[in-house]
Amino acid sequence: MAKILVTGGGGFLATAIIKCLRQRDDEVFSISRSHYPALVPLGVTQIAGDISHAEALSAAVMGMDMVFHVAAKAGVWGAYDDYYKINVAGTRNVINACRQHGVTRLIYTSSPSVVFDGSDQENWDESAPYPDKFLAAYPQTKAMAEQLVNAANSPELATVSLRPHLIWGPGDNHLVPRILSRGKAGRIRTVGDSNKLVDSVYVDNAALAHIQAADRLHYGGPVAGKNYFITNDEPMPMHELMNGILAAGGIGPVRKSIPAAVAYGVGALLEGLYTLLRLDKEPMMTRFVAKQLATAHYYNISAAKRDLGYQPKVTIKEGLSQLAQALRHGPA
């Protein structure tokens, strides 16, 4: 039984990771800014704190055997400094605290968006370079954080970074509710060629990959210092995934689309307007979202299969069935 800290433990993916850890009787601690009642029955020790505060984080890391660093500021809109504070400075604090207290394993949750350059990503593997330019602060700061984690890999602290793509499932508080709310309002559209293939990953599969990475992580091993794409290995047209989620919520399929160039232009216009007016809420469209929706992005996960022993356990069809059941018994 290990003592394990999970940053951002109340989040969607972090909660799934915690459930896996508790099932094998690991002693789990979580540090986050809020208290999460859902973690209480799991027997998690919750620590109030912010990863951008080095002293609070250091105190939380003390005595741990490993750290799952899942906390991040997500989203496609907002001030760069806010993203940098959590995603970059916060990650640096995690690394420093691990070194200070002799933690030997750090598992970091990254994102495929760190290599997104606005073009189609078809069967890309981990050799894909970071782009020269980013369209949003989130992928830019996540790429910076991932590089910090990779550089920190050493005999004292073995590190690994996972890149799960479009995580969804029961309890999702991001992708699923966004699709359902826009579907109910009749404001959901496909962008450009809706037949371009896109990967996603069911939340339990993403959590499994994190556990497998932790179990195989040691300095000098095949996992240490590496990045891994994590998906369901079932690429499909974006509209099929959207329609599956809509159907799980009892909503009809997407029937309208807009040209990719129009979506990008609208995104650029709204970004300019929101910046001028200093609006904090997210625009209905941004350049980053327009490019994401209009391009293919599916990945070769051979490395994860080989090095982590990763095989998705829940298919998209099974996941949609579980999502539908969860939605019938309460909100996502």
Sorted by sequence, the CB contacts under 8 Å of residue 151 that are 6+ apart come out as none
Query: Distances from the Cα of 213 to the Cαs of 36, 93, 159, 221, in angstroms?
Result: 26, 22, 10, 11
Burial 138-175 (b: 16+ CB within 10 A, else e): bbbbbbbbbbbbbebbeeebbbbbbbbbbbbbbbbeeb
Catalytic residues: 138
- CATH number (3.40.920.10, 3.20.20.210, 3.40.50.720, 2.60.40.1180) of 3-171+200-232+298-316 reads 3.40.50.720
- pTM value is 0.94
pLDDT score recorded for residue 48? 93
| Rounded CA separation 128/245 (Å) | 30
The domain segmentation of the chain, as residue ranges, is 3-171+200-232+298-316
Q: Hunting for tokens 């799991």 — which residue is that?
A: 42
Residues (pLDDT < 50) of the chain are 331-332
pLDDT score recorded for residue 194? 77
The string of pLDDT tens digits covering residues 2-48 is: 999 999 999 999 999 999 999 999 999 999 999 999 999 999 999 99
pLDDT score recorded for residue 330? 63
